[in-house]
Amino acid sequence: MKKIAIVADTNSGITQEEAKELGIYLVPMPFIIGDDVLYEGVDLSQEEFYKLQREDAKITTSQPNINSIVELWEDLLKTYDQVIHIPMTSALSQSCETAESFAKNYPDKVFVVDNKRISITMKSSVFDAIKLAKDGMDGKEIKEYLENDGLNASIYLVVDTLKYLKRGGRVTPAAAAIGTVLNIKPILTIQGGKIDKFAMVTNIRSAKKKMIAALRNDIETRFQKYVQNGEFAIAVAHTTNDENAQIFKQELQEEFPNIPCTFVDPLALSIATHTGPKVLAVGGYRFYK
């Protein structure tokens, strides 16, 4: 049985403290704020990020330095047989493609997983990788499993304001202005790593109803067999909205009493850059038993 190191990045929502508890290695995502490059969970906390966002600081995301990632791989390969590297989906960043390119220099040693996930569903992939390694799968088998399973996940999230979507170019200034006047809140969906508009609502109660209905439809159709096999779970994510997120978790448990609602996490800052504060999200995903 091979000794396997598992590497992820902070787009998974996993904190440095959680990574230590899980026995995995975490790459902090860089953010460019003004003239500074700050790293999530190292010198940029959730509180600091949202303070800067409220102050209208210019915040942009960036790829991790590939040289530091390669150095991490080489260091890990001194004590591990193989490395599984799980970055954020290639649909939202070039960091996955860059890592895949450099991994070719380490055949049968480094396996980069592109399973089209981010945030809470990406976190579940990391948990799966840990279980798969403990069950004796090697790097190639883990990569194949996670990539084949990648699309067995959905995320729905409601955004409190159109301000940050406008700033990122995802809605036009005119649409954002009209939406603000009408107090419209967009519901977005993440499927296969891509963020798309799902619906428009005017209040959080309607948003939760629509997200629950969408999740129910997924459960009764594409995820039905996983639910029946006890291989499906729900998780909640949020930005500066923990109290409402905990309430939403209780509501989801009442709606889906036979499906575990596993955790409530802050949303990855790479997504929060474009969505802003007071986001509420639900994700459903198949997990490895």
What is the number of other CB atoms lying within 10 angstroms of the CB of residue 94? 10
What's the pLDDT score for residue 15?
Answer: 92
Rounded Cα distance between 170 and 31, Å, is 19
Instruction: Report phi then psi at 282, rounded to 5.
Output: -130, 140
What's the pLDDT score for residue 287?
Answer: 96
* Amino acid identity at 88: M
Per DSSP, the three-state class of 42 is coil
CATH 3.30.360.10 applies to domain 153-286: no
What's the pLDDT score for residue 174?
Answer: 35
Q: What is the pTM of this model?
A: 0.91
- Go through 40-49 and write b for each residue having 16 or more CB atoms within 10 A of its CB, e for each that does not: bbeebebeeb
Per DSSP, the three-state class of 118 is coil
What's the pLDDT score for residue 196?
Answer: 83
- Please indicate whether residue 61 or residue 168 has the higher confidence score (pLDDT): 61
- Correct CATH for 4-29+64-149 of 3.20.20.70, 3.30.479.30, 3.30.465.10, 3.40.50.10440: 3.40.50.10440
**Ranges of each domain in the chain:** 4-29+64-149, 153-286
Instruction: With cut-offs at 50, 70 and 90, classify the pLDDT of residue 94.
Output: confident
Quick: pLDDT tens for 4-25.
999 999 999 999 999 999 999 9
Helices 95-103, 66-76: inter-axial angle, 10-degree rounding = 40
Quick: pLDDT tens for 252-281.
999 999 999 999 999 888 889 888 999 999
Domains 4-29+64-149 and 153-286 share a fold: no
Instruction: With cut-offs at 50, 70 and 90, classify the pLDDT of residue 165.
Output: low
SS3 content of the chain, % helix, strand, coil (to 5): 45, 25, 35
Quick: pLDDT tens for 65-74.
999 999 999 9
